[in-house]
Amino acid sequence: MKTKLRRLDSGAGLCLVGGNVSAVEVFAPAKLNLFLAVTGRRPDGFHDLVSVAAPLTIGDTLRAEPAAEFALACDDPAVPTDGSNLVLKAAQAFAAATGWTGAARFELRKTIPMGAGLGGGSSDAVAALRALNRLAGPAYALGPERLAAVAAQLGSDCPLFLADGPVAMRGRGERIEALPAAAAARLRGRRVLVFKPDFGIATPWAYGRLAAGAPGSYLPAEAAETRLAGWLANPAAPAEELLFNNMEPPAFAKFVALPVLLENLRRDFGLAPRMSGSGSACFALLGDDGAAAPIVAAVRAAWGPSAYAAEARLA
């Protein structure tokens, strides 16, 4: 008899057959960069940053079950399912880190749009690590520190998806610190509308444009830390006062549809919309009693009926 167990700590559902794990299903949340200050380019080619990121209640779902070899299927034909996908890279990294000789077949149900700055690929990779940590069994399971180290090898923003809440990110994104409880409480549960045009922005292009920009494109680390510390220290400061992203100017200079719509939303709805990460997805924090439908209508009037729009909450 098959029994399904729900693991609330990791968002993983386990199916057991005869006491053995036969399948694991993991939720892979999208994320928003509420505060993103890119402070400079490092000698290794990466960029240093100071950021506050929060997971969302919307995301992808990844199912894993034992198989003879690692394989991936996805319900979105635009998503590559070969070795270039971070899910399979995560699986290989898990096997290398643990010595596990098993394998799994993954099924990915996509909700997070690609090229959006919402962390979909990174979240899927961490979901794969979490799934394999269950599927491989206690003898091979990685503890929190080793799991974070493997996640950091896969991508700069992968470790944030292990935190299950709002975090401050530093370094190239691999240094993660949970926000103080009082500050996190100002973010958790906030209603948000996420919207994206039918084009994406490649992260390497965005950082390249930032590096090639005019002097002052980067926000010095001291200034970034001062801004963040000021918000953290003020218990009356709402989430809207935290919002910042110095990756917007290079994106807005090329993709003019982004700033035009955001300005219209400020004027017509009194919102404080921003771009998330390197884009092209944008977001606006909403009040609990305001209707989202007129805002969605404005987004699609500006960007066309194919524009992505989804309501969620900060987790």
SS3 letters for 114-129?
CCCCCCHHHHHHHHHH
Q: What angle do CA 190, 124, 71 make, to 5 degrees?
A: 160
Confidence of residue 11 (pLDDT cuts 50, 70, 90): low
Q: Report which secondary-structure segment, H or E, holds 196.
A: strand 191-196
Confidence of residue 2 (pLDDT cuts 50, 70, 90): very low
60 noted as active-site residue? no
Catalytic-role residue among 9, 31, 75, 288: 31
CA neighbor of 7 nearest in space, from 21, 20, 26: 26
Of the residues 48, 60, 124, 157, only one is catalytic, namely 157
- Give the per-residue pLDDT at 97: 98
| 195 or 289: which leads in pLDDT | 195
Q: What's the number of CA atoms in the CB half-sphere (13 Å) around residue 208?
A: 5
In the chain the domains, ranked by start, together with CATH numbers, are 3-178 (3.30.230.10), 187-313 (3.30.70.890)
Interior angle at CA 100, CA 94 and CA 101, nearest 5 = 120
DSSP 239: G
Indicate the SS3 state at residue 64: strand
Helices (H) and strands (E) in the chain, counts: 9, 13
Note the pTM of the prediction, 2 decimals: 0.91
Contact 90, 155 (CB under 8 A): no
Span of 16-30, 121-135, 189-203 with lowest mean pLDDT: 16-30
Say what the pLDDT of residue 1 is.
Answer: 28
How large is the average pLDDT for residues 113-126? 96
- pLDDT for residue 45: 86
In order of 119, 269, 275, the CA distances from 294 in angstroms are 27, 9, 20
What is the pLDDT at residue 4? 30
List, in sequence order, the alpha helices (H) in 137-256.
144-154, 181-185, 203-211, 221-233, 248-254
The three-state secondary structure class of 48 is: strand
Q: Beta 20-41 vs 12-17: how paired, if at all?
A: antiparallel
Greatest pairwise CA separation for the chain in angstroms: 65
Among 2-11, 57-66, 241-250, the range scoring the smallest mean pLDDT is 2-11
Q: What are phi and psi of 233, to 5 degrees?
A: -80, -10
Distance (Å, rounded) from C-alpha 104 to C-alpha 206? 34
Among 89-103, 119-133, 142-156, 201-215, whose mean pLDDT is lowest? Answer: 201-215
- Distance from C-alpha of 203 to C-alpha of 209, rounded to nearest angstrom: 10
Is the pLDDT score of 17 beyond 50? no
Q: Give Cα 304 distance to the centre of its chain.
A: 25
* pLDDT tier at 18, thresholds 50, 70, 90: very low
- φ, ψ of residue 246 in degrees (nearest 5): -90, 15
211 or 194, higher pLDDT: 194
Query: How far lies 71's CA from each of 11, 80, 85, 254, in Å?
Result: 22, 12, 10, 38
| pLDDT at position 96 over 80 | yes
Q: Does 157 qualify as catalytic in the annotation?
A: yes
Q: State the average pLDDT for the chain.
A: 92
For residue 9, pLDDT over 90 is answered with: no
Whether 3 has a pLDDT exceeding 60, the answer reads no
Percent of the chain with pLDDT over 90: 87
User: What is the CA 157 to chain-centroid distance, rounded?
Assistant: 7
pLDDT given for residue 20 in this prediction: 62
